[in-house]
Chain A
Amino acid sequence: MKSLALISVVITGWLLLSAVGDFPDWGDPNSPANSYRLSQHFVTETFHETAVPNMVTAVLADYRGYDTMFETVVIFTAGIAIISILRRFTSDGADAGTEKVYEKRPDLIVDTTCRLMIPIIQLFALYVIAHGHHSPGGGFQGGVIFGASFILIALSRDLQAAHKWVPEQRVLNLAGIGILIYAGFGLASMFLGQNFLDYAILHKIMPASPIEARYHSMLGVEIGVAFTVTAIMYSIYSNLASKGTMKEGL
């Protein structure tokens, strides 16, 4: 295996390096990728067409919104895939693989610190989601941070404690609803007579101009992404940490 790996690495590496000399210099503003009308349009016109100052958010949620919908679907797929691979709904007694990793004791310092941190983390996550139009961040990043706060609960106490907040069923509902919110914006624009995901037409049902309709729809879409990502990140963790039994975490 090692010699096979070495051969393929050498061939691939040589192939990739042979093209490096052909690339434009690093940081060249006049390289084809940076000067072609595609990226120029995204830089100069995004604010005029969507009213969003963060170009990345606008391109992510509007120009390439279809991609982002499937990005959310990838996350959702991963969540469902991990449940279908690992989850065991029937408890068949003692399992040799899931012995306790260490003795669990409630730790005062850990518990208090997490109690203190979790509200702040969640508040920050909400800020990241809501402020994605104006600063780095957005639904995905905020969703991961929000999911991390639930992971912190599960880590600091027990998976059961976290389950009281977010039962398995509710997690999956949240994930599905997130995608439905996203695709719902697309479907709404379809019903109003435009193509899938054309938010501008939504101004008919929003008190806003077409450009502002794009702005507000993007926020809605980001919230949908955040729902799915939060739910699936926690779901993946709880499955991996309990080896699919959902009984006890790490």
Chain B
Amino acid sequence: MIWQFDLIILVFLVITAIISLQVKDLLAASMIFGVYSFLMCLLWAGMAAVDVAFTEAAVGAGVSSVFLIATVLRTSRRSSD
């Protein structure tokens, strides 16, 4: 694990987490949450946790985002906060 990369990814993680929770459009929030999960997956792959990273890539960045988008499209895209 190269700690410089680790640190960069961690900073991006914090940024994406904040953006996905602050943006008012829920569809955008879901997409950015997918980015967050993918960054998390990269981080874990770097930490030699390949199985966890694989699962997160399939579940967090893949299926979770699809579930969120399905719900957002079926309910409402607007968020008051």
Physical interaction between A and B:
yes
A144, B71: Cβ atoms under 8 Å? no
Interface residues of A in 2-52 (CB under 8 A from B): 27
Known: A27-B1, A233-B63. A141 touches B70 (CB 8 A): no
User: Which size class do A's interface residues fall under?
Assistant: 20 to 34
Total interface residues on B, CB under 8 Å, equals 18
Q: Could you list 23 examples of A-B contacts with CB < 8 Å?
A: A56-B51, A57-B51, A97-B75, A136-B50, A136-B51, A137-B51, A137-B54, A141-B58, A144-B58, A144-B59, A144-B62, A148-B62, A148-B66, A236-B67, A237-B63, A237-B66, A237-B67, A237-B70, A240-B70, A242-B74, A243-B74, A250-B70, A250-B74
Closest to A98 in B: B74
- Determine the chain A residues whose CB is within 8 A of the CB of B69 once the complex forms: 250
Contacting residues, chain B, for A27 (C-beta < 8 A): 1
Let me know if B55 is at the binding interface, CB within 8 A. yes
Is A151 a contact of B51 with CB atoms below 8 Å?
no
Whether B73 is near chain A, meaning CB under 8 Å from some CB there, is yes
Interface residues of B, Cβ cutoff 8 Å to A:
1, 50-51, 53-55, 58-59, 62-63, 66-67, 69-71, 73-75
Q: Which 6 A-B pairs have the closest CB atoms?
A: A136-B50, A144-B58, A241-B70, A240-B70, A56-B51, A136-B54
